[in-house]
Amino acid sequence: MKVIFINRKHGGSRSIELGRWSRALLSLCCLGLPLGMMAVGYVAGLESEPRSMRGAALDALQDELEQQSQELDKLRGASQSTLQAMTLSLAEIQARMTRLDALGEHLTVMADMQDGEFDFSQPPALGGPMGIQFSEEFDSFDLSSEIARLDRQLNDREQQLDVLELLLSNRNLDEQAWLSGRPVEKGWVSSPFGYRNDPFTGERTMHDGVDVAGKEGSNVIAVAGGVVTYTGERSGYGHMVEISHGDGFVTRYAHNKQNLVEPGDVVRKGEPVGLMGTSGRSTGAHVHFEVYKHGRPVDPSSYISRTPR
């Protein structure tokens, strides 16, 4: 095989005679180089595919980590908000506890209880046979435990207030039903209970009540709490109010200028039931006050001078 080289610059040529081995080597170079490059490219492609897959996996893992980090930040923020809310709730419960203790102590003083008779700062005394046992498990977190403790204390205070309210209610009922004091805000006794000379006939007659004189139009008040059983005009009494107080006690307030209550009304001790006047058989502005015990008139003066409860 002959290879001819041409020199364009000088216009000359040169030929080389190739032998059998030279031709083989040249063929091998011409064919092997492309094949080698193809092989190298194939191997490089095989190696680049795992690298790209690993890169995609790393990217996905990185994205997941970032997402989890964001969720953790949100959870941390929510936990912080919850903690702040629990702290505020704890402070509010503590404030309520303080006000509740102060109220209990104030009510204890108002109830005029002896020292040590009712200690509002201590849990209520409870007892009874053993019942079904329930276990209480609280979160070990200090704030939750503190809230649970305050909740138990609030329950104790509520029980104590219920007991104290019952005591005050009973004492208030006794005080309301206790007949005492005058049936007017201002006035003076102008005629006592018992026998006297009748102001119209001059004859000796029984006076079943006490006359308390005062300013016309001033309040006539109930000497105890009760239910109004009669209001209206009655012969000799003029405008009269009758109140039942229970335990067989009834009081009457007569010669009123005007009655301020109606039958069925519930009145409290000291509440106005009428206005002082001179209606009926009367010589001047006053209230004729009667007290009946089990249907019989008794001297009102003992109740007028009675010490209030």
Reply yes or no on domain 188-304 having CATH 3.40.50.300.
Answer: no
Provide the 8-state DSSP code for 295: T
CB 219 within 8 A of CB 275: yes
The answer to whether the predicted template modeling score (pTM) of the entire model surpasses 0.85 is no
Structure tokens at 34: 């492309």
- Considering all CA atoms of the chain, what is the largest pairwise distance in Å, rounded to the nearest integer? 184
Report which of residues 209 and 91 the model is more confident about.
Answer: 209
pLDDT in tens, 232-261: 999 999 999 999 988 889 999 999 999 999
Domain ranges of the chain: 2-73, 188-304
Q: How many helices (H) and strands (E) does the chain have?
A: 3, 14
pLDDT in tens, 96-145: 667 666 666 656 655 555 555 555 555 555 444 544 443 444 444 566 77
Please provide residue 306's backbone torsions phi and psi, each rounded to the nearest 5 degrees.
-70, 140
CB atoms within 10 A of CB 168: 16
